[in-house]
Amino acid sequence: MRAVMTMMKLGLGAVLVGAVSVLAACLGEPSSADPGGSIDGTTPGSSGSSGTSGTSGTSGSSGTSGSSGTSGSSGSSGTSGTSGTPDGGDPNAGEAPCTLSSKMYGTMKMWECVPTGMGSAPAGLVVAMHGYTQGVVQASSPNQAWGFKSTSQWATLAQQHKFYVIFPDKGTQAFSWYAFFGTSGIARTDQEPSQIAAMVKDMSAKYAIDPTKVFANGLSAGAYMTTVMLATYPDVFAAGSMFEGGAYGCSTSCAALGKKGNGWTWPGNHAPTLVTGAYPTVWKSATAKKPRLLVFQGDADGAVTPENMADAVQQWKGAVGITAAGTKTTVKGHEYTEYTKNGETMLATLLMHGIGHGTPVDPGPGADQGGWDPNPSQTASADANAVQDWTNTAGIWGPYYSAKFFGLIP
């Protein structure tokens, strides 16, 4: 029981495979002139992959969770309401309207966020994946985090810069990012990777999506799922960014669960061939574009420790064929390293000093500031009741700098 509570505090879940219990870690306007690349503005990136209702009422803004909303009228989909902020503000103000699709994708739902004022020109799409215990629109309660939509404010960026966002939604459950019995569950044809790809296909059929500007992002379990999607669907995703994730092919033993130095040891790095074997048609082609990756990592993260960033770096360098050493600078006071190939930034890391496990946000009025930290902190709390917001005031807004890396923000 103590081990289970420890995992709950760190955003970790459990899955049952047969009779074996396997513990799962939680873990602007599109600019054709800016194909993405360095977030410090020094190195260009690649142009991307070739790729292929009733409404719910809003809840009040008073209190930490807001008052309950009115029930919506019947229909096939509904718009998300606001949960309210402790100071009476609205974390969802100015965001692209987000509606819940009536279609189920395996065990997942999909929230689609479509900015107002979209023209006919094709625009980018970000697939944003939440962490364990978090979901997309949940309000805080014991053993439950605030939803990824409100805290990340991806939909706000989408409205400002005119691109689409979808949130795959597993409620408070973790995405199946982890390998078990080999690589079962994380292959291209397995349920969750194929169903998330189906969401992209459905959005592309419904809206004018630029197939070279489809991107993945996630926190914790959603961050690990980001590398799953890039590895298995490099023909769909041009790039991805992850907030505290790790290499493709990880099992749950990659997560320290707060036990570093007390029984947990790093299980070992994961080979680049795991990535290149996930979809050889692209990965082993000399001419096909490969997905780019941006990794955010807190050096005070006890759940997904910095060893995971080092693992992801060596794996991605090998997968995309990077041989040169990285170039280090700083972005917003944090250590930024980028790795280039043929003049393009194919891999970058942002190591955040003193920051723990959660979406990095930087609330404020600046153009590059945003995100919402319901309980302002730099590291996720470790209280006995596992009340976590999975958001950290890090002095840098992860979604904004992810969008710059993607080329969605000039």
Please answer whether residues 326 and 309 qualify as being in contact, where contact means their C-beta atoms are separated by less than 8 angstroms: no
Strands 359-361, 344-352: pairing is unpaired
Q: How many C-beta neighbours within 10 Å does residue 329 have?
A: 12
What the block records as the tokens of 299 is 């050096």
Cα atoms in the 13 Å half-sphere on the side-chain side of 68: 3
Cα–Cα distances (Å) from 236 to 49, 170, 247, in that order, read 6, 22, 19
DSSP 330: E
Active-site hit among 101, 204, 220, 251: 220
User: 111: part of which helix (H) or strand (E)?
Assistant: strand 109-113
- Catalytic site includes residue 285: no
Strands 164-169, 109-113: pairing is antiparallel
Alpha-carbon span 111 to 117, nearest angstrom: 19
Phi, psi angle pair for 73, to nearest 5°? -75, 160
User: 179: part of which helix (H) or strand (E)?
Assistant: none
Please answer whether residues 389 and 360 qualify as being in contact, where contact means their C-beta atoms are separated by less than 8 angstroms: no
What the block records as the tokens of 102 is 């009536």
Phi-psi category of 296—alpha, beta or left, where left has phi over 0 and alpha has psi -120 to 50? Answer: beta
User: Is residue 344 helix, strand or coil?
Assistant: strand
What the block records as the tokens of 241 is 């960014």
* Residues acting as catalytic residues: 220
